[in-house]
Amino acid sequence: MKSGQDIERTRGASLMPPLLFALLLLSSLSAVAGASCGEGQTLQIRIGEQTFAALRADSPAKRERGLSGRRQLAAKTGMWFEFETPGWHGFWMQDMNFPIDLIWVAPTRRVLGAITLQPCVADAPCPIHLPPGLVSQVLEINAGEFSGKPGDSVTWRCAPTSQK
């Protein structure tokens, strides 16, 4: 607990440093976490030496649907799941049509772990797969495409869509 003297010192402090900090924090969060890429741009996820183009699952509805129901996923593409707070976010393979690599990303922007998952079998329980620790993002890509390892650096950004 603060002493009376400490409380007075806090009340008399300038608001500029906290305000400046808050503005910087908000701008960095919007640039990284929730901002959507503009027209002609694609979200690129870089893990170690690999880069994947990804769709963003940044709302509860998008996270719930995920890749379920899709017939396939193009090579070097995936879905990027973003969570408001780090947690033990579970994933399952209900209504999936193809196997995936699931890469758990820690709040430190490092790979926490990865697992290859197969679609659930009809009339069998569909297990929920939990991360090895608290995660703030998850990347789903085609099974066999991930060649990284725990501890690899993870970055993401919006980049111009490549013309083919």
- Chain segment 69-86, per-residue pLDDT in tens: 788 999 999 999 999 899
In the predicted model, what is the mean pLDDT of residues 98-118?
A: 96
- Give the DSSP letter of residue 93: -
Taking the whole predicted model, whether its pTM rises above 0.85 is answered as no
Residues 6+ apart with CB under 8 A from 112: 104, 105, 106, 131, 132, 133, 135, 150
In the predicted model, what is the mean pLDDT of residues 73-101?
A: 92
Instruction: Inform me whether the pLDDT recorded for 5 exceeds 80.
Output: no
Say if residues 26 and 132 touch (Cβ distance below 8 Å): no
Q: Does domain 38-159 have CATH number 2.60.120.1140?
A: yes
3-class SS at 110?
strand
CA-nearest of 76, 156, 152 to 113 is: 152
Instruction: Report the largest interatomic distance among the alpha carbons of the chain, rounded to a whole angstrom.
Output: 67
- Cα separation values, 140 from 9, 77, 109, Å: 49, 9, 16
| pLDDT value at residue 163 | 55
User: Residue 103 corresponds to which tokens in the numbers above?
Assistant: 């890469």
